[in-house]
Amino acid sequence: MKAKLFTPMTFKGVTLKNRITMSPMCMYSANEDGKVNDWHMTHYISRAVGQVGLIMVEATTVTRQGQISPRDLGIWSDEQVPGLKKLVEGIKAHGSKTAIQLGHAGRKAVYKGEILAPSALPFDDQGKIPLEMTDKDIENTVHAFKDGTRRAREAGFDIIEVHAAHGYLISQFLSPLANKRKDKYGGARENRFQFLKEVLEAVKTEWEGPIFVRISADEYHSEGNQAEDFIFYAKEMKKLGVDLIDCSTGGIVRTPINVYPGYQISHAEMIKRKAFIPTGAVGMITSGLQAEEILQNDRADLIFLARELLRNPYWARTAAEELGEEINGPEQYKPAW
């Protein structure tokens, strides 16, 4: 039987040639204009040459105020579209599909002016105290996600991923650790989900293609969201037409995390089984056998590779060899593949 890692998967008419996904990773390599430069072209396209099925571009901020760092890629201006378009075309030329992760850092933003969050609580002792978002701030931010989606569409991306993980803005709204609001956006989990719901509805006004959402499915805190909360969120997202939940963990509070091979897979498995929605597994997945085990046991549907792809852009070839599969590499590399 063919290794599942090398079988296609289709989301709303977009077929990935295999289950290998390049996880979004901040490159901190853009200039202050947030535009794609030579580094991004080389970095992403080389993984497409390496036969990754889906290349997901790093967290790309929908407002300047929401940058994780001043060196993030941005999608807050129409001037950023041509660079992204060129990048998309470069990736697609090698048979990979393209995704972009849209994000806003909220209280974790590195920005000279005021920063925004659901509540005026800093991330940690050294963190800047954010402004509690007004209804108008929320409306503007939701609109920024909508505009970012439109620009992603114009750039030709196949898939949108909404970044609702790692303690950034949407994750802050979801978590009782960061969201102390008393209005319709805070309190019960239904209310904490409201902001993400509005973001997804705004995204859908500009986007008919597949939508992924990355969540931190474990906040590593007894007062944070628990498994049943994430199952609830995942079910709600499914109702809203989300195609896959990309299951990461942590980042909402500063706490040590016990990291070991596949340490986040159980969360992808839990969401998949309890919310009946495809999931992506991420976190210290390094070998073809490990990836195949996850897929064959239906613990997740896509394998998100992060650092392993930084070490080995041709990981697909390595994994294929390990699993006894033959894959088509670039014509030019055939003598060696």
End-to-end CA distance of the chain: 22
CA angle centred on 302, ends 67 and 161, rounded to 5°:
25
Closest approach of Cβ 220 to another protein, in Å? 32
Distance CA 58, CA 217 (A): 19
In the list 8, 82, 261, 330, the residue contacting another protein (rule: CB under 8 A) is 8
How many residues touch another protein under the rule CB under 8 A: the total is 13
Q: Are 302 and 21 in contact (CB under 8 A)?
A: yes
Q: Does 239 bind another protein (CB under 8 A)?
A: no
Q: Residue 11 or 145: which CB sits closer to another protein? A: 11
What is the SS3 assignment for 279? strand
Q: Residue 132 or 322: which CB sits closer to another protein? A: 322
Q: Does 9 bind another protein (CB under 8 A)?
A: yes
Q: Hunting for tokens 């897929």 — which residue is that?
A: 295
Closest approach of Cβ 18 to another protein, in Å? 10
For residue 132, give the nearest of 112, 118, 115 by alpha carbon.
Answer: 118
Closest approach of Cβ 297 to another protein, in Å? 11
Largest CA distance in the chain: 64
Q: Does 234 bind another protein (CB under 8 A)?
A: no
Residue window 12-41: x/- pattern of binding to another protein, with contact defined by CB under 8 A: xxxx--------------------------
For residue 217, give the nearest of 161, 261, 285, 263 by alpha carbon.
Answer: 263
Closest approach of Cβ 162 to another protein, in Å? 21
Interacting residue ranges for another protein, rule: CB under 8 A = 1-4, 7-15
